[in-house]
Amino acid sequence: MGASAGSAPAAQRVQRAGWRDPRLWVGVAIVAASVVVGARVLASADDTVPVWTAVGDLAAGAPLAAGDLEQHRVRFADADVLRDYYSGTASPPRGVLLRGLGAGELLPRAAVGTATQSGTVQVPLAVDPEQVPPSVGAGSVVDVYLLGDAEPALAAASVVDAPDVQDSFVVSGKRQLVLAVPEDDARRFFGLLGAADSPTLTVVRRA
């Protein structure tokens, strides 16, 4: 029997676009281009560079060790300024600090030199623990007094090393400190110690 005049036409099945359909490849190309452009935009947005910074406070005259430094990424408004600092893309520098650095401070090239350039020597001290503030550590700046003197025997000396209190007590019962001081100041200090019968040292930390 033929279809009646009032019957609906037969539904036609919609065919899916095959892999040969050019519209499919155009869509793939658009997605790939978007990914590439997005990656380039993100890469250009990160214009920071790695530089070496101080992990903690570092004293003038202290020899640099790998554990003293860590990398931070920094954005420089002027690319030429980067030349004044040690880039984190190279190995950490070796040498002696010509000036002190605070924790997190960028390491400038001008702050690293040799022991001769620093003009300092390292002076060991053994001090009664009650004569040293507990907060004194590597990187602190201190004055050292001989008991009974109004003027410091060593002024504004940098603490290069300050072993843990417990480690210091094991040997002598005293707090061990190593200070970096100018050579002339060191000679004067040892002269004062030699002139005293039983010198007692007091360490005062500068804020």
The predicted-structure confidence for 119-159, as pLDDT tens digits, reads as follows 899 999 999 999 999 999 988 999 999 988 999 999 999 99
Q: Tens of pLDDT along 74-99?
A: 998 888 888 999 999 999 999 999 98
Q: How far apart are CA 152 and CA 159, in angstroms?
A: 16
Full-model pTM: 0.65
Q: What pLDDT score was predicted for residue 150?
A: 93
Helix (H, G, I), strand (E, B) or coil at 27: helix
∠51-52-54 over CA atoms, to 5°? 140
Pairing verdict, β 175-182 and 120-127: antiparallel
Q: How confident is the model at residue 31 (pLDDT cuts 50, 70, 90)?
A: low
